[in-house]
């Protein structure tokens, strides 16, 4: 029996979604876990989540200082209050939501992780065959539609944004990471390991030109995005030939203003710190958490989650 010992949140705490993957028949399944570190990445406690069965990710704090997280495979959203206790959460239906943005009027935008059906799933067979079974939406043979949906916080659907997606390497990835611009006029999003950073006008419900599109033969893909408190936009660029890097983009042209090479491959989760000077990144391959200086690109602190291919969300209190 796993026992939670998460503490009340303190300023600078880092929360990491790192499910304990211990199911030999399903490499995405296991007891849901959110690990609590202090600002220097010293371990403080752990919350074992209720109502989750697979990877817990997409961590983000709302304006009430409640932590949100998602199990997209189980179609569940969870909420953790500032005391470190899981609290009641609204039911947002049977879609594979994995990321959230909060509007100043209290409404929320949920990104749908999966899109399509078995016809576009490149990982049903072969060397990259999935070690898990993706669920269909109830009453269908589709994984999802890969859209963004506006809801009230109590679970009432308000509007659907029919977003273009890339599919990523396996072909079924929809909106896997998203960020709202500071003026709340558009949402920027990606399909993990696709070569495009998309933009969508949520005021006029209209797809916009990509912020950036990497040439397919460049090997460049995007694996995570986020805004700093000051409104600077960052991405993790993943290139399996040349390495991974943290990029600061011009928000108008998408061009890379600054690029810091990361230590090795696998960095796939990004949290820009509240001080505007640091970022905390998670390595999906080896489970390492690293705190980096934005100015120098140096890793100044690190911690281990002791589980591979599990880190799926990071947030700072």
With b meaning 16 or more CB within 10 Å and e meaning fewer, what string describes 239-266? eeeeebbbbbbebeebeeeeebebbeeb
Is 5 domain-assigned?
no
Is 82 domain-assigned?
yes
Residue at token pair 């935008």: 109
Task: Give the whole-angstrom CA distance, residue 197 versus residue 194.
Answer: 8
Is 9 domain-assigned?
no
Give residue 43's region: left, alpha or beta (phi > 0; psi -120 to 50): beta
Q: How many CB atoms lie within 10 A of CB 297?
A: 16
Q: Which domain holds residue 266?
A: 14-316
Is 190 domain-assigned?
yes
Is 49 domain-assigned?
yes
Is 152 domain-assigned?
yes
Positive or negative, the CA dihedral 39, 40, 41, 47 is negative
Count: domains in the chain: 1
pTM to 2 decimal places:
0.98
Task: Give the whole-angstrom CA distance, residue 289 versus residue 312.
Answer: 11
Is 7 domain-assigned?
no
- Three-state DSSP class for 118? helix
**Could you list the pLDDT tens digit for every one of the 317 residues in the chain?**
899 999 999 999 999 999 999 999 999 999 999 999 999 999 999 999 999 999 999 999 999 999 999 999 999 999 999 999 999 999 999 999 999 999 999 999 999 999 999 999 999 998 889 999 999 999 999 999 999 999 998 999 999 999 999 999 999 999 999 999 999 999 999 999 999 999 999 999 999 999 999 999 999 999 999 999 999 999 999 999 999 999 999 999 999 999 999 999 999 999 999 999 999 999 999 999 999 999 999 999 999 999 999 999 999 99
Is 6 domain-assigned?
no
Alpha carbon distance, N-terminus to C-terminus of the chain: 28
Whether 143 and 134 have beta carbons less than 8 Å apart is answered as yes
> Which CATH number fits the domain that encloses residue 192?
2.130.10.10
Q: What is the distance, to the nearest Å, from the Cα of residue 316 to the centroid of all Cα atoms in its chain?
A: 14
């Amino acid at each position: 029996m796993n026992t939670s010992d998460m503490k009340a949140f303190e300023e600078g705490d880092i929360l990491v979604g790192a499910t304990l993957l211990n199911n030999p028949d399903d490499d995405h399944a296991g007891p849901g876990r959110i690990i609590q570190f202090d600002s220097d990445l010293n371990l403080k406690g752990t919350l074992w989540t209720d109502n989750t069965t697979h990877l817990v990710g997409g961590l983000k704090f709302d304006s009430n200082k409640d932590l949100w997280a998602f199990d997209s495979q189980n179609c569940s959203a969870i909420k953790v209050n500032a005391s470190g206790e899981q609290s009641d959460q609204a039911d947002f239906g049977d879609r594979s939501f994995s990321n959230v943005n909060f509007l100043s009027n209290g409404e929320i935008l949920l990104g749908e992780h999966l899109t399509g059906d078995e016809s576009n799933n490149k990982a049903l067979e072969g060397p990259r065959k999935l070690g898990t079974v993706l669920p269909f939406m109830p009453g269908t043979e589709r994984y999802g539609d890969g859209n963004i949906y506006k809801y009230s916080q109590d679970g009432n659907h308000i509007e659907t944004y029919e977003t273009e997606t890339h599919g990523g390497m396996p072909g079924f990835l929809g909106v896997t990471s998203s960020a709202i611009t500071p003026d709340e006029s558009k949402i920027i999003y990606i399909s993990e390991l696709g070569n495009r950073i998309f933009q969508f006008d949520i005021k006029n419900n209209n797809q916009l030109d990509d912020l950036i599109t990497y040439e397919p033969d460049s090997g460049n893909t995007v694996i995570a995005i986020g805004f700093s408190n000051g409104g600077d936009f960052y991405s993790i660029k993943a290139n399996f030939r040349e390495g991974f890097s943290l990029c600061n983009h011009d928000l108008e042209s998408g061009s890379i203003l600054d690029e810091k090479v990361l230590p090795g491959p696998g960095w796939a989760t990004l949290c820009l710190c509240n001080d505007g000077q640091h970022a905390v990144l998670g390595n999906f391959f080896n489970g390492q958490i690293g705190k980096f200086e934005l100015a120098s690109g140096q890793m100044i602190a690190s911690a281990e989650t002791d589980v591979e291919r599990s880190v799926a969300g990071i947030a700072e209190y």
